Amino acid sequence: MALSILGCANSAHIELEGKLAVKGSEPFTYLSIRDAKSSKSYKIQNKESFDLMHKQKQIVKVKAELIKKAVGPGFPAVIRVVEVK
């Protein structure tokens, strides 16, 4: 539990606009957003909070906290959505 609190304390706010898509293979799928400006993909940690699964293939604009930086191919940065604009 201390690790999740520490992760939140070091998080940065970012604004992203891009298309939502489900990535990965069953049973390891996740919802991601591909930012139109940077062309980077971000894994969305709290997709249930804003019912984002129903907005697949749509372009959305979100404000989010960066939870974890990207490690490399197959391990995208992880974000927690704070607001859908």
| pLDDT for res 17 | 97
Which domains can be identified in the chain, with CATH numbers? 2-84 (2.40.50)
CA distance linking residue 43 with residue 28, whole number of Å: 12
Q: Is 24 strand, coil or helix?
A: coil
| pLDDT for res 10 | 52
pLDDT, tens digit only, all 85 positions of the chain: 343 334 445 556 899 999 999 999 999 899 999 999 999 999 999 988 899 999 999 999 999 999 999 998 889 999 999 999 8
CA distance linking residue 83 with residue 16, whole number of Å: 11
